[in-house]
Structure 1
């Protein structure tokens, strides 16, 4: 019986894939993004153990609703590929149930996603957090190359992608770097869109509750003009941006 550790689940509309989604938050993440809004998902030990059967029983309660709303199931985290066997089994069972499936990942652990796992995935929400190697390392504690390799692999396999780009003033707002990322995304045949997500500080209370500092507590949030400028850069390369 396949088991995993999860933080929680929720229902959402519009931000975790098409339609109304059942969103499963897995526990554990190898990155430490400075703007992370969910530091309570960093450690697997802090999650609760569950089986795939238990997850599917919960999803089944909402199956008719999410199907009627044109939605499906999204696995996020944390980082779902940290528990790749569990993630693969949930995705497989959802596909067998006729549900649209989405995987929200940084791509840092893309090598853990088997071709079978991706065959059960209708959409990958791929977070490309910076297109500059040094900035990516400072911002996340990880390396950018695995994510780019994963993106090209998804394209080769024909897996649809929505690219996610968090816009953080002083970190990811360099327009030349945005142009470089836009050129990369434009070369991915299965990349359907880019979602430019404005940095926010809504997770600050979680850091306080955990007794750890929020590194970007005093960082400004992007204004509407900057957000639109970045979206325009993607659109200039023929990439749909929202």
Structure 2
């Protein structure tokens, strides 16, 4: 079996714990307005690689992977679910820590057994929640968020560690109501290990120019890092509020 791979990176430091070997998959069904990898959208691009070829690449640099492992990102890795699963299963046989960086968009409850097989060999999922409001999510990505939120609950129910990431974009997700609602939703995720609230940046604009594409967000300014810190505090307040509400309700029911 071969996978369609955009590229690999041998010294990833922001793609999960430790220093990691990062594999960028080709193909993504979403069209996020702030996507900085539009060259990964088509599954037909990039190069073909076997699982053994990718693991051989990892082996060639594994002495540098301090407290790390392999992270699969994209694109959307779960678009090539069978290949991804084979890669993680063989990685676990070699004692390698596995991390999946995903939007969760391809999750399909009708194929639940396939996802259960995948998470058995997945140590950590870094899940991007683009927008908590479904209609606003459609405007931002071209897709509903229902599969994404269902995947988050699935991971929680299966005991899989989850690391949530959320990008705060001026005039889109930089909204206290939506941020608070995101926090309320996260109260359902029992396996939540970390929350990264990231400021929107424009570093992807040059790539659009190189590809002859118009950058969707035009002149939207980058978000100040302090505003991202403030936004994270709003998310956390929503999380704490929901947990307190449930505790109070539980006390009343006794």
TM over 0.5: yes
TM tier, smaller: over 0.9
Residue matched to 1:232: 233
Q: Deviations over 1:24-72 (max 9, x none)?
A: 0000000000000001111111111111111111011122221xx1111
Residue matched to 1:131: 132
Residue matched to 2:171: 170
Q: Deviations over 1:200-227 (max 9, x none)?
A: 1111111111111111131111113321
Q: Which consecutive unaligned segments of at least 5 residues does structure 2 have?
A: 242-254
Does the CA-based 8 Å contact 2:32-2:141 persist in structure 1? yes
- Deviation at 1:116? 1.0
Query: Is 1:86 aligned with 2:83?
Result: yes
Query: Is 1:220 aligned with 2:217?
Result: no
Residue matched to 1:47: 46
Report the Cα distance in structure 2 between the residues aligned to 1:208 and 1:224, rounded to whole angstroms: 26
Report the Cα distance in structure 2 between the residues aligned to 1:160 and 1:7, rounded to whole angstroms: 26
Residue matched to 1:97: 94
Question: Alignment partner of 2:163: what SS?
Answer: strand
Question: Alignment partner of 2:197: what SS?
Answer: strand
- Deviation at 1:238? 4.4
Q: Which consecutive unaligned segments of at least 5 residues does structure 1 have?
A: none
Query: Is 1:109 aligned with 2:113?
Result: no
Aligned length: 236
Structure 1 vs Structure 2 CA RMSD: 1.4
Question: Alignment partner of 2:95: what SS?
Answer: coil
What TM-score do the two structures reach when normalised by structure 2?
A: 0.89
What TM-score do the two structures reach when normalised by structure 1?
A: 0.94
Report the Cα distance in structure 2 between the residues aligned to 1:24 and 1:165, rounded to whole angstroms: 21
Q: Deviations over 1:145-165 (max 9, x none)?
A: 000101101000000000010
Report the Cα distance in structure 2 between the residues aligned to 1:54 and 1:12, rounded to whole angstroms: 18
Does the CA-based 8 Å contact 2:202-2:221 persist in structure 1? no
Question: Alignment partner of 2:218: what SS?
Answer: coil
Question: Alignment partner of 1:217: what SS?
Answer: coil
Q: Deviations over 1:134-191 (max 9, x none)?
A: 1100100001100010110100000000001011111101111111110111221001
- Deviation at 1:12? 4.0
Residue matched to 1:122: 123
Does the CA-based 8 Å contact 1:201-1:217 persist in structure 2? no
Does the CA-based 8 Å contact 2:8-2:23 persist in structure 1? yes
Query: Which is further off, 105-114 or 168-177?
Result: 105-114
Does the CA-based 8 Å contact 2:165-2:198 persist in structure 1? yes
Report the Cα distance in structure 2 between the residues aligned to 1:14 and 1:234, rounded to whole angstroms: 25
Does the CA-based 8 Å contact 2:70-2:98 persist in structure 1? yes
